[in-house]
Amino acid sequence: MDFNIKLETALKQSEKFCDTDGELLKQKVKSLALSFDEDLIEILLNNNDTKKHFFKNISGATIFDYRRFIDFIDDKNFLLDSYTKFSNKIGLTISDKHIKQIDNVVLTFPFKDCILEGGQSKEDESRKEIFFNETLAKDEISRLLDKKVIANATKYYYENETVQETEDFTFTRDKEINKKRGLSEDTITDNLIIKGNNLLALHSLKSNFAGKVKLIYIDPPYNTGNDGFKYNDSFNHSTWLTFMKNRLEIARDLLTEDGVIFVQCDDNEQAYLKVLMDEIFGNKNFISTVVNVVKPEGRRYGFIAQAHDYLLVYGKDISSTDMYEMTNHDKKLPYKDNKGKFDIVGLRNRAVKFFNSSNRPNLYYPFYVDTNNTDNDGFMVVSIKPIKGYTEVLPIVVDNLQSVWRWGKEKAKTQSDEVVARVGNDGSIRIFKKDYSQTTMPTTFWKDKELITQKGTQQLDKLFNAKVFAFPKPEALLERIIEISTKKNDIVLDYHLGSGTTCSVAHKMGRKYIGIEQMNYIRTVAVERVKKVIDGDQAGISENAKWKSGGEFIYFELDKYNQKFIDKLSEATEENILDIYKEITEKGFLNYDVELHKIEEHFEEFKAFSLEEKQEFLISILNKNMLYKNLSEIDDSEYEVDSKTKTINADFYNLSKSGKWVFYSIV
């Protein structure tokens, strides 16, 4: 007897698991398994076949493998008759409408969001995605967010004055770097670029990088309805916010306690996003809203030309957060001494009622200068003690008020070496402080010419000698964000990587980085761009960063399951689409409301569909929660994971070194 039938027969022994018609209640069985229901366990133990399949003997104890049991219940071939009835012949329906007639998204559970349904990987698919309701049980959400198998891992590195690549490598865990940045020794120190759905990739990173990322920058879809951003960019507000919420919550978990996040947006969602981020990060951890001018003349539409967008900035714990000043590359330091180049700034003065020299105010501590001894720049030596031949620098008196130095005795003593004097245009002696700093405190208004969108486009077009991406961010924008929020070797994360600007800039600035992108151009644009950086790209911030060449990064993908069928369908022809259909029905993980026998009953009508209609229908029946393979099922023969891929997963997830049970053999 088939094992499916044996299990069904065993479970039907109890009315507890069945409806009034005697049919098994699939969700109830799974729920009881999660609560280790005694009646369920007893039935499974009393059947030799089910006992062998779902129990393990460990040190004399019999252990219920509830995850394996639930996964089996979820299997596409178990309890086909329990699926929602397939209606209107071929088309799946919701509320008496065909899927293809529904152009909005109604969320019945917050993790079922807009990108997951379509698994979009090409920009021209962004208007063809099919959205529909799915109600997910708690255990299905856990399955959705399980760590995923990684595959197709390649390391790119600089050697012999060129970019090399290899698939034979292990992940680096540099103890010295981790010690300096206060992270555990087993933290991966490689730069990573990952292809796959970003929500699932973020959850897969959690075991390695929770609490370790210093900066997150994202430039998500703005929800404008404009496909120029290369995402499906026309969600309703609630859907867009759900899409953002799911990712921001896990992003927060990845931040260090002193970490910060910058989220770029425009007026379309800024107000909604601010409220959402207040909820996730706490309004007490709000740092600033930066106005970033992207097109000074404005985009000429609407009533008022839009010239800027926003950066919402939050800390994970603002009491621990440090922000740094930024380098002002335009600032000139005209003078030089034995400490280096410097500029001069006037000491702050304070006007007080006039006193004679025998009755100085408390805030007036005198300076003395040698007016007969000046250097090449016209500066006179300053002393805080009266010296023979030196002249006391008197406060300026205007309208019977004298301006006095806001320095007391102690400050004058400690900083007198950094004070110089010159004769001003009015003939009076002025006191100045040397300023060696070439940094500037960032403001909330960014209008530098290097930050406009056009600069990013010019940089990328020149780098590739072609137009490969619409509206890439300028490197100077990421340089500023990274400089004011991180130090060398800190981890920077961008999970809407796009053209790869964040990784490129982080590489040049000596930061570690993780980039995530699900669109296919990650290989042709982002990866190729960072390879050019390794090879010595001199575009963007290279001159400011004194960038030459070198470094490495590792690229890998979330290992596809249903996604591989979607990829095949997107390239299908009339000659091979029925073969793909057969493969999907045999190996694909289908939606719970798909009844294969109903399709077979009307198969001739299906065959009469146009190629596009066949593609659309077959994509719609695939369960989008199973786009990728779960790590917990890597040993399942149906997944066909080779030993090399198993080895790289054991290395990435640190399974062999963690002391945890390794569920497969490494060959």
302 and 350 within one domain: no
Predicted local distance difference test score (pLDDT) of residue 558? 96
| 96 and 43 part of one domain | no
**Co-location of 433 and 463 in the same domain:** no
Question: Domain check: are 417 and 458 in the same one?
Answer: no
Parent domain of 405: 335-437
* Displacement of CA 208 from its chain's centroid (Å): 15
In a domain, 638, yes or no: no
Question: Based on the domain organization, do 216 and 306 belong to the same domain?
Answer: yes
Q: What confidence tens digit (pLDDT) does each residue in 252-283 have?
A: 999 999 999 999 999 888 999 999 999 999 99
Domain contains 494: yes
Domain presence at residue 152: no
Mean pLDDT for 290-303 is 86
Same domain, 77 and 92: no
Q: Are 200 and 315 within one domain?
A: yes
- Residue that has been written with the tokens 């409806």 in this structure: 19
Cβ-in-10-Å burial (0-12, 13-18, 19+) of 196 comes to buried
pLDDT at 134 over 60: no
Find the length of the chain: 667
pLDDT at residue 265 in the model: 93
**Per the structure, how many domains does the chain have?**
4
Q: Work out the mean pLDDT of the chain and round it to a whole number.
A: 81
Residues 205 and 291 in one domain: yes
464 domain-assigned: yes
List the 429-435 sheet strands across, edge first. Answer: 335-337, 340-346, 429-435, 419-423, 380-383, 368-374, 391-392
pLDDT-derived band of residue 406, with 50, 70 and 90 as boundaries?
A: low
Q: Which two tokens stand for residue 35?
A: 């609560």
Q: Which of 553, 582, 611 is the last residue of a domain?
A: 553
Which comes out higher in pLDDT, residue 484 or 97?
Answer: 484
What pLDDT score does 368 carry?
A: 87
Domain boundary among 52, 81, 110: 81
* Cβ neighbours of residue 340 closer than 8 Å, sequence gap 6 or more: 436
489 and 456 assigned to the same domain: yes
Tokens of 667: 């060959």
Report if residue 430 sits inside a domain.
yes
Q: 484: number of CA atoms within 13 Å, CB side?
A: 22
Ranked by mean pLDDT, which of 43-47, 90-94, 113-117, 216-220 comes out on top?
A: 216-220
pTM of this structure: 0.71
Residue 119 has pLDDT above 50, yes or no: no
Same domain, 528 and 569: no
The percent of residues above 70 in pLDDT, for the chain, comes to 79
326: confidence class by pLDDT, cuts 50, 70, 90: confident
Whether 407 maps to a domain, the answer reads yes
Strands 512-517, 192-195: pairing kind: parallel
Question: To which H or E segment does residue 73 belong?
Answer: helix 66-74
Q: Which range among 176-185, 204-213, 413-422, 556-565 shows the weakest confidence by mean pLDDT? A: 413-422
- Helical segments of 119-195, H only: 138-144, 175-180
Quick one: pLDDT at residue 117?
38
The verdict on residue 329 lying in a domain is no
CATH number of the domain residue 278 falls in: 3.40.50.150
Residue that wins the pLDDT comparison between 387 and 397: 387
Q: Final residue of a domain: which of 437, 460, 482?
A: 437
| Candidate from 73-77, 99-103, 372-376, 513-517 with smallest mean pLDDT | 99-103
Q: For residue 639, tell me if it sits in a domain.
A: no
Looking at the structure, tell me whether residues 76 and 91 fall in a common domain.
no
Indicate whether 570 and 603 sit together in one domain.
Answer: yes
- Whether the CB-CB separation of 647 and 666 falls below 8 Å is answered with yes
